[in-house]
């Protein structure tokens, strides 16, 4: 197919609401990942929580924002995407502002009257409720505003824009934190979501196909949830994958703590963490082409192995590079440890690109005949499970081994063993599935 015909397909193959919804998703991801990269540092260093408390609060927010879409999707179907987007962005704007306000001097008198931990718990739950409406609304819009011929391209555009937001959000957060203060990162996230609320109200139109679509009620949602939970093979698969995502989410818990405490509190944490998103943007297509002939189960194992090796590399190499500065030119110097952390994130991200598309293929194979779409709708449950206890686990590991015992390498070793357990369990699961089939 020629480039001109591809461009024509992009120009005519989508309803205008497709582009508006994806543009709003870009700004929402920018807001989310901008604040996510500094949340653990904001909670510990600015609000003076312990690592364990910071991990617990991160778990509450991250776990709910990935779990609640199961139910938020049903409400979005019932009331329409325009109302769902409006509600989501309004709540997110208020929520992000409230999170940032807990660290501002002008509001200190108000928050001193309450337990800040429980106040933040309420604010984070409130914010997560709003955020949970975004994903089902955007994905639903993409599905309804693209043709059969352009649907695959539509979801590819969506995925690409998500990663653009995940890459630009931390970049913006770094400049805001460096220029104004860490609490103002949340104000920028709030402004971004407020602008998207205005965009929804004035520019987003309900997809025409939505008006004729059969809506799911909560009875159907709960019935489907029970149907999925009753599938033992599927639930075991999701639980094993939860270990993988526990390793991933430590980039937002343990890595910021380690960089701040053992490298430099002035280090560009946000830019280092964003390496994963930039890797996906730049290498997703070539990696997919190079690995497309690898069997699905093998590709998933490769992803697990690379994720595990990243933590093992950090265990061995980071103690050797601590305090070592590189001076490539002039007065410019940077820590070799930051380069090592960036390399680990790059390795992890390559593994993610190898296994992520195959994850959905595996789910399609696991689903009973005629239920593939239903089971795909629960594919994000491992992320919710991992965030739900991964933040607390990461906070506890860091507090125990790095803060109290002053041996941060044991944190990396612990996560390496979690990766080994995940890889072995996936190998056993693959063997069991092959034998049962």
| Domain shared by 104 and 170, yes or no | yes
| Domain shared by 181 and 242, yes or no | no
| Domain shared by 118 and 255, yes or no | no
> Per-residue confidence of the chain (437 residues) as pLDDT tens digits?
556 665 666 666 788 899 999 999 999 999 999 999 999 999 999 999 999 999 999 999 999 999 898 888 878 877 889 999 999 999 999 999 999 999 999 998 999 999 999 999 999 999 999 999 998 889 888 888 888 777 777 887 888 899 999 999 999 999 999 999 999 999 999 999 999 999 999 999 988 765 555 666 667 777 877 877 788 888 899 999 999 999 999 999 999 999 999 999 989 999 999 999 999 999 988 888 888 888 888 999 999 999 999 999 999 999 999 988 887 776 777 899 999 999 999 999 999 989 887 887 788 777 777 666 567 677 788 999 899 999 999 999 999 999 999 999 999 999 999 999 999 999 999 999 888 87
HSE of 286, CA atoms in CB hemisphere, 13 A: 6
- Whether residue 405 is contained in a domain is answered as yes
Q: What is the dihedral of CA 117, 118, 120, 122, to 10 degrees?
A: 160
The CA-based diameter of the chain, rounded to the nearest angstrom, is: 66
- Whether residue 367 is contained in a domain is answered as yes
- Whether residue 267 is contained in a domain is answered as yes
| Domain shared by 131 and 238, yes or no | no
| Domain shared by 140 and 19, yes or no | yes
Nearest to 417 by CA among 388, 397, 389, 395: 397
| Domain shared by 233 and 370, yes or no | yes
Give the CATH number, domain containing residue 383.
1.20.1250.20
- Whether residue 210 is contained in a domain is answered as no
Q: Are 354 and 302 in contact (CB under 8 A)?
A: yes
Where a domain ends, among 203, 236, 269? 203
| Domain shared by 191 and 232, yes or no | no
Domain count, the chain: 2
- Whether residue 334 is contained in a domain is answered as yes
- The strand pairing partners of 61, in sequence order, are none
- The strand pairing partners of 329, in sequence order, are 332
Query: What's the 3-state SS for 296-322?
Result: HHHHHHHHHHHHHHHHHHHHHHHHHHC
Sequence-distant (6+) residues with CB within 8 A of 109 are none
DSSP 3-state of 379: coil
| Domain shared by 101 and 168, yes or no | yes
| Domain shared by 102 and 239, yes or no | no
- Whether residue 7 is contained in a domain is answered as no
- Whether residue 209 is contained in a domain is answered as no
DSSP 3-state of 132: coil
Where a domain ends, among 203, 219, 252? 203
Domain span at 266: 228-437
Residue 236 CB neighbours (<10 A): 15
| Domain shared by 190 and 306, yes or no | no
Q: Are 52 and 399 in contact (CB under 8 A)?
A: yes
- Cα separation, 196 vs 177, in Å, equals 22
| Domain shared by 269 and 350, yes or no | yes
Looking at residue 315, what is its pLDDT?
97
| Domain shared by 89 and 232, yes or no | no
Where a domain ends, among 160, 187, 203? 203
Retrieve residue 118's tokens. 């429980």
Length of the chain: 437
- The strand pairing partners of 334, in sequence order, are 326
- Whether residue 223 is contained in a domain is answered as no
């Amino acid at each position: 197919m020629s480039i001109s015909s591809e461009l024509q397909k992009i120009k005519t193959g989508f309803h205008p609401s497709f582009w508006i919804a994806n543009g709003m998703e870009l700004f929402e991801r920018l807001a989310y990942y901008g604040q996510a990269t500094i949340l653990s540092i904001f909670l510990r260093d600015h609000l003076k929580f312990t690592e364990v408390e910071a991990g617990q609060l991160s778990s509450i927010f991250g776990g709910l924002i990935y779990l609640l879409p199961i139910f938020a999707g049903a409400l979005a179907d019932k009331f329409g995407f325009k109302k769902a987007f409006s509600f989501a962005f309004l709540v997110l704007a208020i929520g992000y502002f409230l999170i940032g306000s807990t660290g501002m001097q002008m509001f200190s008198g108000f928050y001193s009257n309450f337990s800040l931990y429980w106040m933040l718990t309420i604010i984070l739950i409130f914010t997560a409720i709003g955020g949970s409406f975004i994903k089902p609304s955007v994905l639903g819009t993409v599905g309804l505003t693209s043709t059969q011929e352009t649907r695959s391209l539509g979801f590819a555009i969506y995925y690409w824009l998500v990663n653009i937001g995940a890459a630009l959000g931390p970049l913006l957060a770094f400049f805001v934190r460096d220029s104004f203060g860490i609490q103002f990162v949340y104000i920028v996230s709030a402004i971004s979501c407020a602008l998207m609320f205005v965009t929804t109200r004035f520019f987003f139109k309900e997809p025409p196909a939505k008006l004729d679509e059969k809506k799911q009620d909560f009875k159907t949602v709960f019935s489907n949830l029970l149907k999925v939970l009753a599938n033992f093979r599927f639930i075991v698969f999701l639980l094993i994958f939860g270990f993988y995502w526990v390793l991933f989410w430590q980039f937002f818990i343990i890595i910021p703590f380690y960089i701040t405490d053992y490298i430099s509190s002035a280090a560009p944490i946000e830019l280092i963490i964003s390496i994963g998103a930039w890797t996906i943007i730049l290498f997703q297509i070539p990696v997919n082409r190079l690995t497309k002939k690898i069997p699905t189960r093998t590709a998933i194992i490769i992803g697990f192995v690379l994720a595990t090796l990243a933590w093992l590399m950090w265990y061995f190499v980071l103690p050797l590079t601590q305090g070592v500065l590189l001076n490539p030119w002039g007065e410019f110097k940077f820590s070799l440890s930051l380069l090592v952390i960036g390399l680990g994130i790059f390795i992890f991200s390559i593994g993610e690109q190898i296994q992520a598309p195959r994850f959905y293929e595996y789910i399609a194979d696991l689903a009973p005949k005629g239920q593939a779409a239903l089971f795909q709708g629960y594919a994000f449950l491992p992320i919710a499970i991992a965030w739900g206890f991964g933040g607390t686990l990461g906070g506890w590991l860091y507090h125990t081994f790095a803060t109290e015992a002053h041996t941060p390498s044991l944190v990396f070793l612990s996560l390496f063993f979690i990766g080994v357990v995940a890889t072995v369990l996936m190998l056993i699961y693959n063997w069991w599935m092959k034998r049962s089939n």
